[in-house]
Chain A
């Protein structure tokens, strides 16, 4: 990950949420490390990866937080909602229950994330067509209802993974003021450190 030590123009914090075992970690590992393995370990609590990309002529450092889907970890994961500039909400097209939870996740975003946060809805495991329980149209309809972009992805076959992360990063970037004096990095220059918003240790 030598690229991560190169300087960057902008840092964007993304958050991945959704029910457990819908493939959040798989998507993230496919995107950040370009690998897929069906033997990932369970995410317990919260984890994150960093990927630096070139986006419309700027070097953007993506800090992507991966969360555990289960309710028991909600008190931990909830504190990461605030400060996230983009949220990737994932469900599993082969499990209707995870799709039905999307509304409650959207409500969580409303309650705990910043008001203008960018969101994207992902139906994962699109490679597993025979077990599909949620149609593409249904996913698209729900996304339209919330006014967010929608993708069906396959972490396994690397379908649409880069596209969905690039989309959410671009949307967040468009919203972030380009004037360096307006964002936090600019303020930090005098402390000799270029770093964007980070989750606090001690919030």
Chain B
């Protein structure tokens, strides 16, 4: 493999070809070609955007910190204890800062070291490669990028290993503690030797940007027992000693990282790719920010010692953002990709009846989803009991879907649903602030509750994603459209559009009923199939006594729980169904 890489570099093959050859690493690659390899993998570098006005010279270099860092970079190695190695580091760091017109930031020294070890101190290729590496991490130093990336890191760990995530949380190790040094150094920081750092960079540069996250997660999991089996108080030490210390360990970590990447929803990977380059979307962050500022106000009013951090541990775990899957990914997953098992906790109400349900989804009995003051808690309790007790669901990717009706509630009602109990009534979220939030609050709370009980691989569908999903099935899937000659996707599309704009009220009768009927015909042909529920008119028919189930085609498609209940959707008596007693 190494020889093929060398030959490809000699032939001047393009970036993609070389990336494919490097794959999981090229341990035996001659050091003389590694810089060239990295420069090919990094691709052509655009000239760095220089800051317009030249900052004062001392700010450009911050020579004091830079010099201190040069003297504490990889001091375990002969090269960096010698003046030759230090001079190379200095030269790389000063040049990159001057060319970009920026001040030195800590962490760059760690990625300069592997370059310096391969560099003769003169070849311009060294500067070019280092500049390319800096370009990969530079965005992370921007405002809030690291915080955003850390939160996503936390969500990723919790997605694959909720037990480990919760243990780290118990130990006080927030994702920022490990995410920051790992991300800004492209995972070279944990590499015990420069040689291993070289191999880390081979893999990181040959794979997509999210790989840095997966390598870190794989390293954490490779020493999982040190966190889970040892006392919590030893966890900081375990984290500090978390290194890639041997070629075998590294190879195992790379294999595990690839497996984890395959088992991760594409939507999350896309978010990770952006975050690895420092671009955050910030919508969930903003929400947390609101919560926090509310909390801060509270803190200054009362005794600071009793409420410095007023969320208890389970609540803090709860506040790790749940992984959000896009409607597009769910639609695609029907054919390829991850196979999601949908947990549909949408309320039995007008707008959702019109949109339909996936017929193999797991749905709660109507009382759990009813408009009850503690609706979300009851849903979460139902989901936990249902999922934990079902062995066939082990290892499946679970996707919690709710409906988007919360947006129609007033701000105070929204905060009532959205916040963990101690925070309720302290925060009044204006509904407008949630409009561009991707997270569906009800789905998020159900997913978090599942995660807290240790269920892995739980994600939520993006806010309002179910309508979008149905729409995608109709408009994008030619196969389905061919089966439906009488159906007009445009009319359906308009219908959905209108549904999303109007206030929540029962207004979809008349011309739209035709579209609904067409959908009902279609529903049985879909695999697994989005089945249209009866429209509002039909719901009213159901409420009339004396009509039996077989007269209502829509009804047969409802989940078993509902069929057994015999109750009217949205009107069930909350006392009539057993609920877990721990609520």
Instruction: Evaluate contact between A5 and B308: CB separation under 8 angstroms.
Output: no
Instruction: Evaluate contact between A47 and B170: CB separation under 8 angstroms.
Output: no
- How long is the Cα–Cα vector from A183 to B305 in the complex, in angstroms? 8
Answer yes or no: B168 CB below 8 A from chain A CBs: yes
- Measured between beta carbons, the chain A residues less than 8 angstroms from B374 are none
- How long is the Cα–Cα vector from A63 to B171 in the complex, in angstroms? 11
- Measured between beta carbons, the chain B residues less than 8 angstroms from A46 are 176-177, 180
Q: Mark B226-240, 1 if CB is under 8 A from A, else 0.
A: 000001111011001
Instruction: Evaluate contact between A83 and B233: CB separation under 8 angstroms.
Output: no
- How long is the Cα–Cα vector from A118 to B178 in the complex, in angstroms? 28
Instruction: Evaluate contact between A45 and B172: CB separation under 8 angstroms.
Output: no
Q: Give the segment of B139-147, B344-352, B467-475, B559-567 that binds chain A.
A: B139-147
Closest A residue to B189 using CB positions: A44
Given A201-B169, A203-B309, the answer on whether A21 and B154 have CB atoms closer than 8 Å is no
Instruction: Evaluate contact between B172 and A63: CB separation under 8 angstroms.
Output: yes
Of B105, B174, B309, which is within 8 A of A82 by CB?
B309
Instruction: Evaluate contact between A201 and B107: CB separation under 8 angstroms.
Output: no
Answer yes or no: A130 CB below 8 A from chain B CBs: no
Instruction: Evaluate contact between A83 and B309: CB separation under 8 angstroms.
Output: yes
- Measured between beta carbons, the chain A residues less than 8 angstroms from B75 are 39, 41
Q: Mark A12-26, 1 if CB is under 8 A from B, else 0.
A: 000000001100000
Chain B's nearest CB lies how many Å from the CB of A198? Answer: 4
Of B141, B170, B299, B318, which is within 8 A of A114 by CB?
B299
Instruction: Evaluate contact between B147 and A20: CB separation under 8 angstroms.
Output: no
Answer yes or no: B109 CB below 8 A from chain A CBs: yes
Closest B residue to A77 using CB positions: B176
- Measured between beta carbons, the chain B residues less than 8 angstroms from A200 are 169, 174, 309, 311, 316, 319
Given A44-B107, A46-B177, the answer on whether A70 and B65 have CB atoms closer than 8 Å is yes
- Measured between beta carbons, the chain A residues less than 8 angstroms from B288 are 202-203
Q: Mark B75-93, 1 if CB is under 8 A from A, else 0.
A: 1100000000000000000
Chain A's nearest CB lies how many Å from the CB of B57? Answer: 15
Instruction: Evaluate contact between B305 and A85: CB separation under 8 angstroms.
Output: yes
Q: Give the segment of B66-74, B378-386, B516-524, B549-557 that binds chain A.
A: B66-74
Q: Give the segment of A138-146, A150-158, A174-182 that binds chain B.
A: A174-182
Please list the 5 inter-chain residue pairs (A to B) with the smallest Cβ-Cβ separation, ordered nearest first: A45-B180, A114-B304, A39-B75, A21-B68, A83-B308
Binding site for A on B (CB under 8 A): 64-65, 68-69, 71-73, 75-76, 105-107, 109-110, 141, 143-144, 146-147, 150-151, 154, 165, 168-170, 172-177, 179-181, 184-185, 189, 231-234, 236-237, 240, 288, 292, 296, 299-300, 304-306, 308-309, 311-313, 316-321
